[in-house]
Amino acid sequence: MSCLFCEIVAGERPAFVVTSDEVALSFLDTRPVFKGHLLVVPRAHVETLTDLAEVGPFFERVQHLAGAVEKGLEAAGTFVAMNNRVSQSVPHLHVHIVPRNRKDGLRGFFWPRTRYASDEEAESYAAAIRRTS
């Protein structure tokens, strides 16, 4: 069975990659809650958090990237979340890191989605985060 995120990890599908190492890959969500919204995925295919053997190294990357999103995008904070099976659109563990600012309009879990105007705009957001990661 094909996995969208495994294809991105393997370089078989395009993505705006922010970071990549032996543990995890991070890239921009194609339908971000706010621009700069990242997904962080383990390189190894695991479906849920309970399937992940090396939790510490993976969440060290998540922690680092949450800070990079704040610094790189001059955000007041971040929203960090993940689903396990229910509401998990791709059955590959992934953590959302969403830049947040006061009065940004995010209410509860009914998130409006937006799109990048162009590949160049998406790359500029990826580069801003990449510079501080």
Q: What's the confidence (pLDDT) of residue 108? A: 65
> How much is the CA Rg of the chain, to the nearest whole Å?
14
Q: How far apart are CA 116 and CA 119, in angstroms?
A: 7
CATH T-level fold of 4-106: HIT family, subunit A (3.30.428)
> Catalytic residue at 45?
no
Q: What is the pLDDT of residue 88?
A: 85
1, pLDDT greater than 70: no
Task: Tell whether the model's pLDDT for residue 109 goes beyond 80.
Answer: no
Confidence class for position 66, pLDDT limits 50, 70, 90: very high
- Tell me the pLDDT band of 113, cut-offs 50, 70 and 90: confident
Name the catalytic one among 45, 64, 92, 94: 94
CA distance 104 to 101: 5
Edge-to-edge strand list for the sheet holding 77-81: 17-20, 24-28, 38-42, 95-100, 77-81
On average, the pLDDT of the chain sits at 93
List beta partners, residue 99. Answer: 78
pTM, entire model: 0.86
pLDDT tops 70 at residue 111: no
Query: How does DSSP assign 50-86, residue by residue?
Result: GG-S-HHHHHHHHHHHHHHHHHHHT-SEEEEE--SST
